Structure 1
């Protein structure tokens, strides 16, 4: 059972990395450091969007509109951090 918990922690780390990459990339696009008309930038952006949208969609239905600010990635990062704490504290219980 400990191995399953470690695999779950690995999956949470990968999702956390994807969310962080998408947040940084969105800032770079907004500040016009990156241009979505470049094919490789667009491919990375659309790939991250396709991966993360199933995670973001339920949270976006719950969160009210914040005037152009999207707090969904912050909520996902907080949930991942909470899940990591819960798993690490209970990994030896199994």
Structure 2
């Protein structure tokens, strides 16, 4: 029971990280993107909930320079960490 709840919470948080990544890509690639206010309110939920661990990782993991662009690997590290946490929950609780 507890394992299933933890697994579901980690899965939900992983989806929130993916949605945040998609929103950041839209903002990055579409320079003239002018979203409606409801979109910004919805996006704020994803940014507020995923920002603390990403900011923590960005403090210790610098962006990877790729020519004229810098790749932020902190989101990738967080995603991998969440996948490992999911696997640990499955292993420990036998889901």
TM range (shorter): 0.7 to 0.9
Unpaired segments of 5 or more residues in structure 2? none
- List 4+ stretches of structure 1 deviating above 3 A: none
Aligned alpha-carbon RMSD (Å): 2.0
Number of residue pairs matched by the alignment: 90
- What is the 5 A alignment of 1:47-86? 47-67=45-65, 68-86=70-88
Which has a greater percent of strand? 2
| TM-score relative to the length of structure 1 | 0.80
* Residue 46 in structure 1 maps to residue 44 in structure 2: yes
Is the 2:63–2:73 contact (alpha carbons within 8 Å) kept by the matching residues of 1?
no
What is the CA-CA distance between 1:33 and the residue it aligns to? 8.1
| TM-score relative to the length of structure 2 | 0.79
